[in-house]
Structure 1
C-alpha cells in the first residue's frame, strides 16, 4: 500500500497520559518496517478553503487563534498545543491525498492509506471533540466532490465509536452516504438505528450499533447483509474507510472483540464491495489506542492488499443480540435494503 504520512502530525502533543499520542504513528511505522510494498508519501497540507467546505468559518478562526495563543484543553478530552494547527492541516491534507489518489486509479498494492493524526470523525461543523479538530474524511469527501473528481462518495466508519461529526455534516446531503458499525451506547452516544438522514439526505445514513462483546463475525454479517446492498445501491464513485482499530479485542478503551485476523477479513470485504460497486477505495486512520493492536491491525490491512488471505471460520455465526440488530437494520428505510 501507499501510506500518506507527515512528520508534522507527530508534533501535536497531547501529553504523557493521553491515549491519542504521537506514539500511535510511530508504532505503525515500526510495524510496517521491511514489509514488502510499503511506500510513504508526504502529501501537501489541506487549504483553508477546503476546510471551510465542511467547517464553520468562525470555528476555524477560533481554533487557529487557540493554537496560536498556546493551546490548552479545548474540552475534557481534546488537547491542543501551538503545533496542533500544522498537524490538523497536514492530517486533513493526507486524507484528501488518499481520496484523490484512489480516484486517480491507485488500487491493489497501490491502495492509499492516510495515517495522519489527530483523527477526525468526531469533529462537527463548528466544534472539536473526542480528540478530533477537523473532520478529515469529510474534508476529503467534500474536496473531491467540489473538484468534480467524484459526484457521490460513500464513507464506511468501522471505528468502535460512532462518527457523529461525519454523520452530522452530511446528514441532509444526498451525495454522501455515511455508514457506521460501532459499539452501541459508547461515546459519543449517537449512531442509533433510526438515524437515517433527512431532507435530500433521507436514506443516506446507515448505522449498525452492535452490543459490547461483538466479534468480527457480526461485523462481516452486517457488511454483507446490510452495508453491501445499501452501498451498491448508492453507486458511489469513491468509498472511503474511516479506519479506526479500537474495536480490537485487546484495545484498552472498548469492549468489542474484533481480532487482528478479523480486520483482515473486514479489509477483504470492503475491497470486494468497492470492486463490485465500481468505486475507488481509500483508507483514513481514525482511532485505535493499544499500540500493539493498532500497529498489527494496520499491518494486516497492508498484508491483505499484498496478497495475504486471512482465515475464515465458515461455521461462525453472530451472537443472537448482534443478529437482532442486523435484522432490524435490514428493515430500515434505506434504499437497497
Structure 2
C-alpha cells in the first residue's frame, strides 16, 4: 500500500496520559518495517479553505488561533499544543492526497492509506470533540466532490471505528451526495448513531447506523457488510469509497467492548475492496482511532497484507440474537 505520512503529525501532543499519543504513528511505522511493498508519501498541508469547506469558517479560525496561543484543553477530551494546527493541516492534507490517489486509479498494492493525526470523525461542523479538531474523512470527501480533476458525484464513507462517527454524520446528514455508514458499539461515546438516524431532507436514507451490542465479534460485522451495507453502496452508484479506519473495535483495545479479531480487519478490507471494484469506485483509507499500540500496528499491517496478496480467513460460528436484531432493524429502516 501507499501510506500517507508526515512527521509534522507527531508534533500534536495532547499530553503523557492521553490515549491519542504520537506513539500511535510510531508503532504503525515500526510494525510496517517488517512488511514488503510499503511506500510512504508526505503530502502537503490542506489550506484553511479546504478545511472550511465542511466546517464553519469562524470555528476553523478559532482553532488556528487557539493553537497559535499555545493550545490547552478545548474540552476534557480534546487538547492542543502550538504545533497542533500544523498537524491538523497535514492530517487533512494527507486525507485529501489519499482520495486524489484513489481517484487517479491507485489500487491493489498501490491503494492509499492516510496515517494522519489528530483523527477526525468526531469533529462536527462547528466544534471539536473526542480528540478531533478537523474531520479528515469529511474534508477529503468534499475535496473529491469539489475537484475539477475528477467527475465525482457521490462518495461513500464507511466508518468501522468502535465509536460512532457523529461528526461525519453531522456534516452530511441532510445531503444525498455522501452516503455515511457507521458500525459502532451501542451506548459508547458519543452516544449517537441509533438505527433510526437515517438522514433528513435530501439526505433521507443516506445515513446508515449499526449500533452493535458489547461483545459483538467478527461474524456479525461481516453479516452487516455482506447484507445491508453492500446493498446500499452498490445501489448508490458511488464514485469513491472512503474508509474511516479506526481499530479500537479490536477485542484487545482498552476502551471498548466489541470483540473483533485482527483477522476481522483483513475480512472487512477484502469485502469493501470487492464493493469498490463492483461499483468501479476509488478506494482509500483514513486513520481514526485505535489505542492499544500493538493491536493498532498489527491491524494496520493486516490491511496492508490484504492488498499484498494475503487471503483472509473466514470466521467460524454464529453471532448473538441481539446483534442479528440490529442488522435486521437497519435493513428494515432502509427498506431492504
TM-score computed with the length of structure 2 as normaliser: 0.98
Report if aligned partners of 1:155, 1:179 keep a CA contact under 8 Å in 2: yes
The separation in 2 between residues aligned to 1:70 and 1:173, in whole angstroms, is 36
What whole-Å deviation, never above 9, does each CA across 1:117-165 have from its counterpart, x for those lacking one?
A: 0000000010000000000000000011011421110000000000000
Matched, 1:96 2:96: yes
1:34 Cα deviation from its structure 2 partner: 3.4
Per-residue CA distance 1:195-238 (angstroms, 9 max, x = gap): 00011111100001100010011000000111000011111100
Alignment equivalent of 1:192, drawn from 191, 194, 197: 194
Q: Which residue of 2 aligns with 1:53?
A: 53
Take 1:197 and 1:73, find their aligned partners in 2: how far apart are those partners? 32
- C-alpha distance in 1 between matches for 2:334 and 2:229: 13
Gaps of 5+ in 2: none
Contact map agreement 1:263 1:300 (CA 8 A) in 2: yes
CA distance in 1, matches of 2:334, 2:232: 10
**Residues in 2 aligned to 1:278 and 1:323: alpha-carbon distance in whole angstroms:** 30
TM-align CA RMSD: 0.8
Q: Which residue of 2 aligns with 1:298?
A: 300
Question: Which residue in the other structure is 1:318 paired with?
Answer: 319
Residue 118 of structure 2 is matched in structure 1 by 118
The answer for the alignment partner of 2:80 in structure 1 is 80
Give 1:209-288 correspondences, 5 Å limit. Answer: 209-288=211-290
Contact kept? 1:51, 1:134, Cα under 8 Å: yes
CA contact (8 A) 1:221 1:318 kept: no
Cα shift readout 1:157-214 (whole Å, capped 9, x = no counterpart): 0000000000010000110000011001100000000000011111100001100010
State the SS of the aligned residue for 1:331.
helix
Per the alignment, residue 38 of structure 2 pairs with 38
| SS of residue matched to 2:255 | coil
Q: Which residue of 1 aligns with 2:10?
A: 10
Map of 1:109 onto structure 2: 109
TM-score, structure 1 normalization: 0.98
* Cα deviation 1:283-326 (Å, max 9, x = unaligned): 0000000000000000000000000012113x422211101111
| Inter-partner Cα distance in structure 1 for 2:66 and 2:85 | 9
Q: Aligned match of 1:201 in 200, 203, 207? A: 203
